[in-house]
C-alpha cells in the first residue's frame, strides 16, 4: 500500500547551514519514527517558502547513506499572506503495510503550528 508521510520544520536564517541542518533533523526523525528504508520510498517532495533560497533541501536527503537513488524534488510553496515563514515542508511517498492512523507525521520547531492536531 502507498502512504504519504508529511513533515515540516522552520529555520532560523536563510543559510545553507540552517536549511541543511534543520532538514536533516526533520528527515531523520521521519525515517526513524516510521521505520523507513530507502527501497520502500517512491519519491520525496520538498517545498520551501519564498524566503528560503540558499539551499536545496533535497540535496540533504540524497546525501544520507542509501538514499542516493530515491527520486527527490524541491518546489516553492504558494506565497499565501500570513503563512509560516522560513518553512521547509516534505511529503514522502512510501510503500508500507501501516494503517493511515499509524503513520507518524513530524512537525518540528515553529512548524508544529501547522498541525497542532498531531501534537503528541
| DSSP conformation letters of 91-112 | EEEEE----GGG---EE-GGGG
41 with 70: CB under 8 angstroms? yes
Give me the catalytic one of 3, 6, 69, 97. Answer: 6
Is 115 part of the annotated catalytic residue set? yes
Give me the catalytic one of 76, 77, 109, 110. Answer: 77
Is 69 part of the annotated catalytic residue set? no
Give me the catalytic one of 62, 76, 87, 120. Answer: 62
Cα gap 92→105, rounded to integer Å: 10
Is 109 part of the annotated catalytic residue set? no
Is 76 part of the annotated catalytic residue set? no
- Name the grid cell of 77: 510553496
Give me the catalytic one of 74, 87, 110, 120. Answer: 74
Question: Strands 87-95 and 2-10: what pairing?
Answer: antiparallel
Is 62 part of the annotated catalytic residue set? yes
Please name the helix (run of DSSP H) or strand (run of DSSP E) that holds residue 52, with its range, or none. none
First to last CA, the chain: 25
Is 3 part of the annotated catalytic residue set? no
Give me the catalytic one of 3, 22, 87, 107. Answer: 107
Give me the catalytic one of 3, 22, 89, 109. Answer: 89
Q: Which residues are catalytic?
A: 6, 62, 74, 77, 89, 107, 115
Amino acid at each position: 500500500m502507498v502512504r504519504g508521510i508529511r513533515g515540516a520544520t522552520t529555520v532560523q536564517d536563510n543559510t545553507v547551514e540552517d536549511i541543511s541542518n534543520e532538514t536533516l533533523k526533520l528527515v531523520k526523525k521521519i525515517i526513524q519514527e516510521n521505520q523507513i528504508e530507502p527501497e520502500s520510498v517512491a519519491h520525496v517532495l520538498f517545498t520551501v517558502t519564498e524566503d528560503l533560497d540558499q539551499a536545496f533541501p533535497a540535496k540533504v536527503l540524497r546525501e544520507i547513506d542509501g538514499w542516493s537513488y530515491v527520486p527527490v524534488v524541491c518546489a516553492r510553496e504558494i506565497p499565501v499572506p500570513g503563512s509560516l515563514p522560513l518553512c521547509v515542508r516534505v511529503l514522502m511517498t512510501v510503500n508500507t503495510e501501516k494503517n493511515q492512523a499509524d503513520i507518524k507525521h513530524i512537525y518540528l520547531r515553529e512548524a508544529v503550528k501547522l498541525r497542532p492536531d498531531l501534537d503528541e
